[in-house]
Every structure is written in C-alpha cells, then in structure tokens.
Amino acid sequence: MTTAPAAPPASGVERALDAACDHLLGLQAPEGWWKGELQTNVTMDAEDLLLRHFLGIRTEEETSEAARWIRSQQRDDGTWANFHGGPGDLSTTIEAYTALRLAGDPADARHMKAAAEFVRQAGGIEASRVFTRIWLATAGQWPWDDLPVLPPEMIFLPSWFPLNVYDWACWARQTIVPLTIVSARRPVRPLPVDLAELRTGRRAPRRPRGGWDAAFTALDGVLHRYQRRPIPGLRHAAIRRAADWIVARQELDGSWGGIQPPWVYSLMALDLCGYRLDHPVMTKGLTGLDRFTIRDETGRRLEACQSPVWDTALAMNALLDAGLPGDHPAVARGADWLLAEEVKGPGDWAVRRPSLAPGGWAFEFDNDGYPDIDDTAEVILALRRVPHQNTRPAVDRGMRWMTGMASRDGGFAAFDADNTRELCKRLPFCDFGAVIDPPTADVTAHVVEALAAEGQARSAVARRAVLWLLKAQEPDGSWFGRWGANHVYGTGAVLPALIAAGVRRDAACVRRAVAWLERHQNGDGGWGEDLRSYDDPAWIGRGTSTPSQTAWALIGLLAADRPAGDPDGAVERGVRWLVEQQRPDGTWDEDFFTGTGFPGDFYINYHLYRLVFPISALGRYLRLRDDRDDRYDGWDGAQDHERDPGGNGEDGERDGDRDQERDGDGNGDQDGDRLRVIRVTST
C-alpha cells in the first residue's frame, strides 16, 4: 500500500464535485428523467438476430449493423466474454459465432476459426447452457429430444404447489411460461448455414447422480415420454392458458417486464400460438424493441433492460448529497417525473401478499406489473428530500408497500416476498442465472436506510431487517452484493444503513466491515472487485480500481465516521483517486462492469454509475470535512436517531452487537442472537 503525499485540498474536491454535477445536470432529459446506457454482452444482439430469423423479419441492414457490433466485441483469443476483462464464455461465444455465420462471415475466416477452436476445446455445443441449445434447436442445430422438457401444463399448478410459476423469480417466471409453449411446440426454422464445426461429437455432460438431481432427472424422463403423447385436451388448454397469461402481462411499451429474455420468448410463443405479425400484441412487442436499440459508429446493439427510475433516483440523491437544494429545478423535474411513475395497480407480487395495497416504483419506463423494493427504497430516499406538495402521499404509499414486502425472515428481496423455494434450482433446465428471489443484503440495507430516513428505525420491520443484516455479515466482515459487484457493493450499502438505524459506529459489526474495506483498498487509493469473485473467492475484494466501486467504499467508510483529513487515511486516498481520475468533462471512465444481473452468469455496466456514486461520495466527504463537530448522518433521516437522549435510539440492534461480540465466532448465532429475536418479536 503506497503512502499518500497529502490530503486533497478541499478546493480541488469542490472543483471536481462541481464539474461532475454540471455533467450530470446536462444529462437530464427535458421530461425530468436520467438514464445511462445499460451495457451487457453480445448475446442480446445475437439472440435478436435469431429472433428475427425465427419470425421471418430479419433484414440485411439489421444483420450487418449487429454483426459489426458483435465483431467489435471479440477478443484477440477469438472469444467473447460476459464482462469487460473476463474470461471467454462458451455459450456467449457460440451465440456470437452463430450470429456472424448468419451475417455471412465464412467459417474459414481467421476470427471465426479462432472462435470455433475455443468452442471445441471448451466442450462444443454439447457443453453449452440450456438456453443456448434452445436457440440452436429452433434453428435446426440441436435435437429437441436432448433438451429438458418444460410442460405448459405447469400453468395449472396452484400457487401453494411446488414448482408452480410463482415459485420462480419474476424474471424467470416471465421467461419460463413462454418457454413452456416453445418446448411443447418444438419449432424448427433452419438456418441457412450449418454449425458442424462447433460440435465435438461427445454427449452433453450428465447431471450428478443422487439426491434431488437424480429425482429431477427421472422426472425429466417421464416428461419426455409425456411430451410424445400428451393428453390432447389438457395440452391445448394449457397452451391457451399460458398464452393468455403472457398477453395479460405485456407492458405499455410492448415489452414483458421491460427485460429481454421474457420479451423475445413471449414473441416466439405467441407466434407459435398463431398470433400474426400484424396482431396488435406482436406489433407493439416488435416496435418496442426499437426503443431499446442503440445505433452508432460501432454498429447496432440492444440494451437488455433500461433503468430510468433507478438512474433518476440515484441522480437526485447524488445531487442532493452534493449540496443542491431540494427545490432546484432539476431536482424538482426529477421528482415530478418519479411521481408520475408510481405503480398504482396490482402485480404478481400480490400472489404472496394479496391484502397489501399497491405502491412503489419499478426499474423501467413502462413496467407497471413488477415494482421492485430496491427502486422503491431509493425513490423514497430521494422524494422525501424534495419540498414538493405531492411527494408525501406517494412516499406513504411506497413505504406501506415496501414494508409489506418483508419476507418471513425479516429480509427484503428485489421483487417478491418469500420467493425462496430451492426446488426450482434443481430442475435440469436451470443451468443459467438466478431463478429465485431471496432476500439480499444490499436490498435489505436500502430498505433500512429508507425506514430510518422516515423515522421508523425503531419499528419492528426495521429491527428485524437490521437483525437479518447482522446475521448476513460474512466471517471476514463484508457483505455479499447481489445486485452490484460484489462485497464492496454490499458492504458499502450496509454500513450507512446500520448507522442510520442507530447501530453504534464502534460496534463490532461496523469495525469489522471498516477493517475489511481498508484492507482491500488498492495501492493506487481506489477500490475494485472483479466479477469473478462470484465464482472464485480468491477474487473477493480484488480488482482494478473503478470510480463506482471506489465511491461505494467511501460511502461506507464515511458513514462509519472514518477520519477525514488524515493524508494517510483510506478516505483521503480514495477521494484523491477520484479527483485525479476525473475526466476534463467532469465524469469518469469505467470500462469494467460493476452491476450484477445474475451472479456468475450475467453482468451489467451501468454507464451512469461512474458519475452518480462519485458525486454522492465527494458530496458526503465535503459535508463531513466541513462540519467536523457533527457526526456524519448518512441520509438525513439518521438525525432523528441522534436526538435520542442515549444517542443510540435505545435500539435492540445496539444490544445485539454486544451479544454478537460475546459469540465465539462473532456471527451472532448464539444466545445473544436469540435474545435479539425475543426483543424484536416482542416489540
């Protein structure tokens, strides 16, 4: 670890913050929202071409533009990765290669030969994920008999029965239902090329024998036999019910859930059910894809999703952290737009919470069926800081819905409550992505922050959520990050939440988390964590410094009241790194992906993260540095707890930390933990 020459002068930090705020203000749309590009990998573009081939609407212009983008993302070793700097991915490379063959690239071209060689060495098409082989089956390049069966009859399973569609996470649920129709119909619409050079001739890898894996492998065998001779009336009724379920969930912009996987499979399923391309549902679905399409000098690419609500809330909170007043015109426009985006109708979440009134916010422009808890918490944190006459009713509705979505264990997931049934993960189909939606530390932390900001840190919901966070702390002092990379994100999110909820800054859980962040600071002063940390523990807390991850670490350390002004301190060195890395236009470069879609499988580069989080970090730093006599309060609502005569809100969590320190292993699972549970449940 290098020695810092001197603490960055406040004037330099202020200039950096002013430039960053000016850049962010310049990105606001006239309607009031902010939205950065949501960059993923080339499977989005390859599958778009395969979808258009399947529907018979692929054009040469679209194919050429997409192929140019896909080629630009190929690495020197011939592979395509799932994230910048990551290892070559077999399935991604197969799909990219297939798209380029569709675009006319010959198999004997140098870049194609390099890709094919990697694919064969990695096991060929036979070793690719199920989703890739489904696409290849629709194109006549893989036998349907060698794929797991998804019967559409599962649409009839009641919500209490195992493996019903509501046991799946919302993103998986919306994908599985249309895929049951595709699986039942087994369409083949051949490509004009053959992919023999990607096959090894070996059998696909077998699932492990024994336990649930053996049981579900046997079940898949039964379903294959049923697939050959289904009950005609039941099969017809199931497909019709599944199609109706799909149509009922199409959003106003033509998407399904505002995300790519259910969108493309829903269009395929409805096509197989006889929906013509000029049917309003199909027309709206295909037209909607244009909104997710980016065209520039590199070609044509699709966003897997769009994040305007999330980006707008983050941008508003960042500007407010930087000192902009709540009645600033840009903040007021953002608030107006967010208020209009409130979800006021029911969705699939009501299956588990039927008596809960609607409320909250979704991630996307037009997703009214799937509000999420993370966005709702972040929007509440933004709107409550804006002196707007219409914010209070919306915040109250959002708070009611958000707290009502607590899972039984006290934690909070992204979209559903108690979506934790592990059986879904055992199906032979499930070899890619997260298929359930259990509570996570980052979402739970954001909820706790919102509760504390609204003066509800002493509520039973908040106490149980804080207890959940204490239990979820890793032995090394960090927290796992489900929706951001990874332990830096989780730890940077949890620390402000615990402090806002009244946990002492000198509590063991806080000290351990701070020590973890300080221990994982890079020599250049920044922080970074490679996405491989989801698969390989050796990468936890390790990676090239990035602006967003450096900001997350700083936000956590500042909440824990780490000294500001010590030139050798972690905070000063991190702030210096941000100031020195800033571009002349006020933003930062960030090629590395720091967002997470599916841990281990699908990652995101949120192009606004590199700007909004450094603004928040620098703004909070200056606030702490300018007012050394006042304790840094995280979000404004933490002040409510500081007014308590005891200085800690008389919270059970503080006592819980004492109990946690008494445990032999420090994880709070001994008698002290049980005492905390008693306090919480008796509140």
- Tens of pLDDT along 574-601? 999 999 999 999 999 999 999 999 999 9
Q: pLDDT digit string (tens) for 234-256?
A: 999 999 999 999 999 999 999 99
Stretch 611-623: mean pLDDT, rounded?
A: 97
Band (pLDDT 50/70/90 cuts) for residue 439 is very high
Stretch 326-338: mean pLDDT, rounded?
A: 96
Q: Would the pLDDT of 42 be above 60?
A: yes
Report domain extents, the chain.
Answer: 1-28+440-641, 31-40+304-405, 42-146, 148-189+206-302
In the chain, pLDDT over 70 holds for what percent of residues?
Answer: 88
The amino acid at 475: P
How far CA 242 is from CA of 185, 367, 419, 596, in Å, comes to 13, 20, 21, 30
DSSP letter for 605, please.
E
Angle (CA) 389-394-396 rounded to 5° is 105
Q: Would the pLDDT of 651 be above 50?
A: no
CATH number 3.30.160.270 given to 148-189+206-302: no
| Inter-residue long-range contacts of 145-149, CB under 8 Å, 24+ positions, other chains counted | 145/224, 146/204, 147/183, 148/220, 148/223, 148/427, 148/428, 148/429, 149/183, 149/220, 149/223, 149/224, 149/226, 149/227
Q: Would the pLDDT of 635 be above 50?
A: no
How far CA 506 is from CA of 218, 512, 513, 654, in Å, comes to 54, 10, 11, 10
The amino acid at 396: D
pLDDT at position 645, please?
A: 29
Distance CA(105)–CA(193), nearest Å, equals 10
Contact between residue 288 and residue 253 where contact means Cβ atoms under 8 Å apart: yes
CA atoms within 13 A on the CB side of 399: 24
Which tokens belong to 348? 């699939």
> Could you count the other beta carbons within 10 Å of the beta carbon of residue 286?
17
Give the right CATH number for 1-28+440-641 from 1.10.260.40, 1.50.10.20, 3.30.230.20, 3.40.1080.20: 1.50.10.20
Same fold, 42-146 and 148-189+206-302: yes
Which tokens belong to 198? 């990607």
Q: Would the pLDDT of 91 be above 70?
A: yes
Which 3 state secondary structure label does DSSP give 18?
helix
> Could you count the other beta carbons within 10 Å of the beta carbon of residue 639?
16
In the chain, pLDDT over 90 holds for what percent of residues?
Answer: 81
Contact between residue 458 and residue 651 where contact means Cβ atoms under 8 Å apart: yes
User: Burial of 525 by CB count in 10 Å (0-12 exposed, 13-18 middle, 19+ buried)?
Assistant: buried
pLDDT at position 183, please?
A: 95
Which tokens belong to 346? 């029911």
pLDDT at position 682, please?
A: 27
pLDDT at position 638, please?
A: 34
Which tokens belong to 185? 């119909």
pLDDT at position 206, please?
A: 65
pLDDT at position 7, please?
A: 58
Q: pLDDT digit string (tens) for 459-473?
A: 999 999 999 999 999
Q: Would the pLDDT of 680 be above 80?
A: no
How far CA 190 is from CA of 51, 55, 141, 179, in Å, comes to 12, 12, 8, 19
374 part of the active site: yes
Q: pLDDT digit string (tens) for 499-536?
A: 999 999 999 999 999 999 999 999 999 999 999 999 99
- Closest alpha carbon to 135 in 145, 122, 144, 127: 144
Stretch 209-221: mean pLDDT, rounded?
A: 72
Phi (first) and psi of residue 155, to 5 degrees? -65, -20
Q: Give 551-581 as a DSSP string.
A: HHHHHHHHHTT--SS-TTSHHHHHHHHHHHH
pLDDT at position 259, please?
A: 93
- Closest alpha carbon to 582 in 27, 29, 21: 21
Distance CA(667)–CA(660), nearest Å, equals 6
Which 3 state secondary structure label does DSSP give 3?
coil
Q: Would the pLDDT of 277 be above 90?
A: yes
Band (pLDDT 50/70/90 cuts) for residue 208 is low
- Closest alpha carbon to 142 in 218, 50, 70, 231: 50
Q: pLDDT digit string (tens) for 156-205?
A: 999 999 889 999 999 999 999 999 999 999 999 999 999 999 999 887 66
Which 3 state secondary structure label does DSSP give 8?
coil
Distance CA(247)–CA(271), nearest Å, equals 12
Q: pLDDT digit string (tens) for 354-392?
A: 999 999 999 999 888 899 999 999 999 999 999 977 899
> Could you count the other beta carbons within 10 Å of the beta carbon of residue 665?
9
> What is the Cα Rg of the chain in Å?
25
Q: Give 231-263 as a DSSP string.
A: -HHHHHHHHHHHHHHHHHTB-TTS-BTTBHHHH
- Closest alpha carbon to 626 in 558, 577, 580, 549: 558
Contact between residue 558 and residue 514 where contact means Cβ atoms under 8 Å apart: no
Q: Would the pLDDT of 314 be above 80?
A: yes
Which tokens belong to 411? 């934690």
- Closest alpha carbon to 332 in 397, 392, 383, 399: 383
Q: Report the run of H or E that residue 633 belongs to, with start and end.
A: none
- Closest alpha carbon to 307 in 339, 259, 344: 259
pLDDT at position 661, please?
A: 35
Which 3 state secondary structure label does DSSP give 179?
helix
Contact between residue 203 and residue 126 where contact means Cβ atoms under 8 Å apart: yes
Stretch 529-552: mean pLDDT, rounded?
A: 97
Q: What is the 3-state secondary structure (H, E, C) of 19-52?
A: HHHHHHHHCCCCCCCCCCCEECCCHHHHHHHHHH
Band (pLDDT 50/70/90 cuts) for residue 426 is confident
CATH number 1.50.10.20 given to 42-146: yes
Contact between residue 437 and residue 414 where contact means Cβ atoms under 8 Å apart: yes
Of the residues 45, 374, 530, 640, only one is catalytic, namely: 374
Q: Would the pLDDT of 677 be above 90?
A: no
pLDDT at position 636, please?
A: 35
